[in-house]
Amino acid sequence: MLWLVSVMEQRPLGRTGWPVTPFGVGLAALGRPAYITLGRDDDLGADRSVEAMRARTWEVLDAAWAAGVRYLDAARSYGRAEEFLGEWLRERGIGPGAVTIGSKWGYAYVGGWRLDAEHQELKELSATRLRGQLAETRALLGGHLSLYQIHSATVESGVLEDEDVLGRLRELRAEGVAVGFSTTGPRQAATIDRAVRTGVFDTVQATWNLLEPSAGEALARAHEAGLGVIVKEGVANGRLTARAAPGPLAAAARERGVTPDALALAAVLARPWADVVLSGAASVGQLHSNLTALGGLWDAALERTLGGLAEPAEAYWSTRAALTWS
């Protein structure tokens, strides 16, 4: 289905001016051997060596580039994602500005490339970590870094009131790198509204999907205020794919001859405030399935039929927290 997206439109990512496409690729599931996506044993098999994961990452990036995708998203905690991405950019001769690259700071990867590690990542939203991880990111991505985001900001963390952090982010903006934040948890809307009021941020990356749409109105407000909006977890860590799709979504996908993930992502693309939706594909096949969402699948009938899938935010995030790293 690549012909559908070979001329994928580009638009500016909010006030950053950086050009992006409606689809981006996130590397959370590719840069490390363990993640919380359902079905990773089937997706990745037994070989999750660094070499195998690097090759898989490059295959997905090659397919995304060929399809016209021009936004790529990484993080310091995604294992070796920034390393794999930087190597791919250099090997393919893709210069700064040809693709918009976002990364995130705040979590450190501590999994040691093991599936059974006690912890895979540890969070610290301090100015010290920001400075240290920014240096690490720049060493791997160099001038390709377009956007640097707080990873999983919350109101409770206090990071949005930390003047040392905010001051360094203002400096980063002055250096030509856009700054943003991602959100997590049932109070995403409160975090978004608080962050917008600071006047510091250029973008927001938030979870929105058919099961967890609670941040939608806040994202619309952020978009209206000029922030670029990036949507993550559009298939709810696999819960909106063929592996676990709720009955109404599975039935609607069968009726239209598409996969459940495509319909779930089409729902995101239909939001007027969504600038980019991330594919978390771990294979080229999954990427191609995701990209069929661009075929104009969403309509008013689906909005009525599938709008009732939403779960209470607290319940959704409780379920997500219980997912195992595999």
**H or E element at residue 92:** none
Q: Answer yes or no: are the C-beta atoms of 74 and 103 closer than 8 Å.
A: yes
Burial pattern 288-310, b for ≥16 Cβ within 10 A else e, equals bbbbbbbeebbeeebeeebeebe
Which pLDDT tens digit goes with each residue over 147-201?
999 999 999 999 999 999 999 999 999 999 999 999 999 999 999 999 999 999 9
Which pLDDT tens digit goes with each residue over 237-260?
999 999 999 999 999 999 999 999
The matching CATH number, chosen from 3.30.450.20, 3.20.20.100, 3.30.470.20, 3.60.130.10, for 7-321 is: 3.20.20.100
- Find tokens 């496409």 and name the residue: 21
Amino acid at 275: D
Q: Which of 274, 244, 238, 260 is nearest to 306 (CA)?
A: 260
Which pLDDT tens digit goes with each residue over 16-74?
999 999 999 999 999 999 999 999 999 999 999 999 999 999 999 999 999 999 999 99
Q: Answer yes or no: are the C-beta atoms of 114 and 67 closer than 8 Å.
A: no
Residue 22 phi/psi, 5-degree rounding, is: -55, -30
Percentage of the residues of the chain whose pLDDT score is greater than 70: 98
**Residue 291 DSSP SS3:** helix
Q: Which of 106, 132, 133, 102 is nearest to 121 (CA)?
A: 106
pLDDT at position 2 is 35
Pairing of strands 228-232, 145-153: unpaired
Summary mean pLDDT of the chain: 96
Residue 278 phi/psi, 5-degree rounding, is: -90, 135
